[in-house]
Chains A and B, each alone.
Chain A
Amino acid sequence: MPFQEILGKSIDEIEVGDKAYFAKTISETDVYQFAAVTGDFNPAHVNEAYSSGTFFKHRIAHGQLTVSLISNILGTQLPGPGTIFVSSSVKFMAPVYIEDTIEAVVEIAELNREKNRLKFKAWCINQKGVKVLESEGMVMPPKKR
């Protein structure tokens, strides 16, 4: 497969306001696998008995797991493969529970065609329409030869 075919959008192919989406129901397996890969066994994620006594009442997904849905979009859709992640900041607004369905949205906010950088806005909402997190950051889209 020609290399150029699999690359995502270069900066010339992107406009401010462009959007892309990814949604997933967060399963218990996802949360447990994330704990397994990262080492984050905070009981808030893996201990239902403990969680029932906290403000959240049930086990919640790791914040970074939800955030990673955004990097999915950046790396596979907009801009897509070849994108280099430069920086981002996140604000966590509501907990994500096991079996919540989360939709992540990335919107292009600003383009710097000279430096080949763009700023994005992103957010995740759950099945009840509640925004669970907001993020913004900077990436370098792939360059096409």
Chain B
Amino acid sequence: MDYSIESKLGKTISEIRIGDTASFGKTFTEADVYQFTGIVGNFNPTHLNKEFASKTPSGKRTVPQMLVAGLVSKILGTQYPGNGTVHIAQELDFIEPVFMGDTIEATVEVTKIDGKKKRVWFDLKCVNQESKLVLTGESEIIPPFMIDEEKV
């Protein structure tokens, strides 16, 4: 197979600029929650049990926090920088609960670049459909890079 990684690779470190942003928004449905809890094995009734959830302060089943945080993985891995990004570290601050049916918009912004160590840092902000901040954080990644000089 004639595979050109060059054409598939996301932004390399030389193409990344401080202040660049990328966003992605998604409505979190019951299907998302049930699939996610199934992968991770987290059957916490706050996510899966209506009767239980009705007695909690939020009153409704919540979307697993790491599922919401998955938005940052999506942006970094497919939009900016994109394919080949390696996630090194992630800090998350969960501010408000997210409920089934909420639409969350995540935005990342480049804050720091270390050319020598080949690392890039991003700030993360997630807001819901009422523009309420639900999640913030910081990501550290290795941006995509080529290891073969020529196309295979």
Contact = CB atoms under 8 A, between A and B. Distances in A.
**Do the two chains touch directly in the complex (Cβ atoms below 8 Å apart)?**
yes
Interface of A: 33, 35-37, 39, 41, 46
Size category of the binding interface on chain B: under 10
Interface majority SS (helix, strand, loop, mixed), chain B: helix
Nearest to B35: A36
Interface in B54-110: none
Contacts of A39: 41, 43
B43 to A, nearest CB: 4
A31 B99 CA distance: 29
A46 B41 CA distance: 10
Contacts, number: 13
Nearest to A39: B43
B39 interface: yes
B38 interface: yes
A126 to B, nearest CB: 26
Contacts of A36: 35, 37-39, 41
Chain A interface, DSSP helix/strand/loop, else mixed: helix
A41 to B, nearest CB: 4
Contacts of A35: 38, 41
Contacts of B41: 35-36, 39, 41, 46
Nearest to B43: A39
B39 to A, nearest CB: 6
A43 B37 CA distance: 16
Contacts of B39: 36
Nearest to B37: A36
Contacts of B38: 33, 35-37
A104 B38 CA distance: 27
A27 to B, nearest CB: 16
Given A36-B39, A41-B41, 11 more contacts: A33-B38, A35-B38, A35-B41, A36-B35, A36-B37, A36-B38, A36-B41, A37-B38, A39-B41, A39-B43, A46-B41
A37 to B, nearest CB: 6
A37 B41 CA distance: 10
Nearest to A37: B38
A35 B43 CA distance: 11
